[in-house]
Copies of this chain bind each other. A is one copy, B any other.
Amino acid sequence: MLIKNRKANNQQTPEWINDPPLEGTFRAIFKWGAPDRYKNPSSGFLDIIRERLNLKHDDFENHDLIGNIKVEKPKGEEEKSKIIKPDDIDGIKKIVGVENISLDRYSRVKFSKGKSMEDILKLRHGIVENIPDLVVHPENREQIREIVEYCNEKRIPLHVYGGGSSVTLGLDCLKGGITLVMNTHMNRLVEFNEKNQTITVEAGMMGPAYEKLLNEAPELLGASHRYTGGHFPQSFEFSSVGGWVVTLGAGQASSYYGDAYDLVISQEYITPAGSFKTLEYPATATGPKVNDIMKGSEGVFGVLVAVTMKIFRYFPENSKTFAFMFPDWDSTVKAARNISQGEFGMPSILRISDAEESDVAMKMYNLEGSFLDKFMKIKQYKPGKRCILMGQADGEKEFTDNIKKQVKKICKKEQGLYLTGYPLIKWRHGRFSDPYMRDSLNDYGVLIDTLEASVTWKNLHELHSRVRRYIKNRPDTICMTHASHFYSQGTNLYFIFITRAEHPDDFQIFQRGIIKEIIAGKGSLSHHHGVGRMMGPFMKSHIGEVQLDVLKAIKKHFDPNNIMNPGGILGMGD
């Protein structure tokens, strides 16, 4: 039974569900993050949603499908795998021990579902599809090697689960088989090398454990300095280092530190075609780099067991924050481009929000109606037009001082009004907890999802207006857009859309339509979410058949029997 939030029991504030999900339920699987943590929309944010989605009071009276139902085998259903025989279960048990195997339906659902709106909607509807026959928690690389060999010999599909934060249907098991869970045991420190500024960890180490080791390197590792990994995706708390690498994630500080692709020095893989560790050099000229070929392979070539990452000296005391309001999107983009092309070093965090997102931000940060807001309105920074740029510089003290100084100079030239670092600090405060709000809203049938794309400066405006036009064409829908990863050649666009949908299929059709608009608008199929099975079908039209065939040839080399994460991921075919 749920204990509802009694205090909020009035017409204005919905009765948010703030209790941990019941054990073994669908809700326990789809709920974001820690079971006992939650975050509800602020009244300002909720007001916008009510208004823009044209919701009435009674839309927040009754919960929609909240998923507090046990995940159980449907009555009368025969659960007999065509892939895995009882002998195989014994075979795997012999490798990892009975304690490292889960056959129960809850585990099989949990470890094959990610956090896309589609995953969540289906789980709320109790729809169970594409689950493995067996979940395995390997203890070491030798066990993984034996499992890969076993599965290759027996043609058993093999999937890998890191932190479970995929938003691209990357974890589905279309043909059943086995899912390896890496974060149970394969989460250890392998080597810390201060002189080389690298750390080697097993692929299943989670973000917070990784960053803690580095921040507290003097205390925990006997280091001379503090370090940071510089990688902070929104999923940071619930994603693994290996997951970052195989899906090509980018953290919120990537404009300075680089994305996961840039951060990897070396990787160790176990594949059906053999095991290897790439050499540890920061740069080489020894032909095409196998180390890079493996990045972003999303489990189709083999299992990533350990990874050596670049680390950075950590000077939180030198962080400089800044935020500006611009009269319109054009001037905001121009300022961001001039910062990115300025040759004075990049801020670690740099974000620009379009007018719709900026309006929401003003409400979320309780700035609307403030003295500042009134001042802005007088000064031609009007709601519906005005846009926020904000960021943070990290590194050596005078380096960060100068970045802030140059940023200010550039922003001033584009009529940016300095807002101090307050909005960035507010944003930073909520950056890892915002996903919790989705569950609260979903409980009332309000759906939130995101799609994102790389784009060059030249194509940015076209992509932005094209995708917005499509999304806003759906009645009663919010579309907020920001760019948050900057390069001298371009950036990304990140589209957040909030809408209602009667059924998962309805939502899926709408969402796939956005992907099509992104491609037509010259955005990339993904900037940092990866491809998975969601973008897989678009790969051929996006990169072209000749290039996709290259990836297929590499796949065929590593995995001739197609056991590694099969079923349409990366556009690899079945």
Chain A residues with CB under 8 Å of chain B are 193, 195-198, 247-250, 259, 261, 265, 273-276, 278-290, 292-298, 310, 312-313, 315, 337, 341-345, 394-396, 398-399, 402, 405-406, 454-458, 485, 487-490, 492, 524-531, 535, 539, 542-547, 549-551, 553-554, 556-558, 570-571
Contact = CB atoms under 8 A, between A and B. Distances in A.
Contact of A283 (B293, B406, B485): B485
Contact of A344 (B247, B398, B539, B542): B398
Closest 9 pairs (CB-CB, A-B): A282-B487, A553-B557, A248-B285, A344-B396, A343-B395, A274-B546, A282-B489, A281-B454, A344-B399
A247 B550 contact: no
A329 B406 CA distance: 37
Nearest to A403: B399
11 contacts: A197-B489, A248-B286, A259-B285, A281-B454, A282-B454, A285-B530, A288-B554, A313-B343, A343-B394, A345-B345, A554-B554
Q: Which of A342, A345, A527 has the most CB of B within 10 A?
A: A345
A259 B284 CA distance: 10
A116 B337 CA distance: 43
A279 B459 CA distance: 13
Contacts of A250: 283, 285
A539 B287 contact: yes
Contact of A454 (B274, B283, B288, B344): B283
A276 B545 CA distance: 9
A544 B556 CA distance: 20
Given A288-B295, A398-B405, 10 more contacts: A193-B456, A248-B287, A249-B285, A261-B283, A265-B489, A278-B543, A285-B526, A286-B542, A345-B345, A398-B406
Nearest to A485: B283
B281 A456 contact: yes
Nearest to A572: B287
A554 B550 CA distance: 7
A8 to B, nearest CB: 39
A485 B283 CA distance: 9
Nearest to A571: B287
A289 B286 contact: no
Nearest to A343: B395
Given A196-B458, A489-B197, A550-B293, A527 B341 contact: no
A525 to B, nearest CB: 5
Contacts of A249: 285
B550 A290 contact: yes
Contacts of A298: 287
B292 A458 contact: no
Contact of A547 (B248, B278, B398, B549): B278
Contact of A285 (B193, B296, B399): B296
A377 B342 CA distance: 43
B570 A287 contact: yes
A558 B455 CA distance: 29
B292 A289 contact: yes
A514 B342 CA distance: 43
Given A276-B544, A524-B286, A543-B279, A341 B549 contact: no
Contacts of A543: 278-279, 286, 290
A524 to B, nearest CB: 5
Nearest to A260: B285
A570 B239 CA distance: 37
Contacts of A337: 195
Contacts of A297: 287-288
A205 B395 CA distance: 38
A84 to B, nearest CB: 28
Nearest to A454: B281
A456 B280 CA distance: 8
Contacts of A524: 279, 281, 284, 286
Nearest to A300: B287
A283 B283 CA distance: 18
Nearest to A570: B287
A528 B550 CA distance: 25
Contacts of A273: 546, 549
A527 to B, nearest CB: 6
Contacts of A261: 283, 289
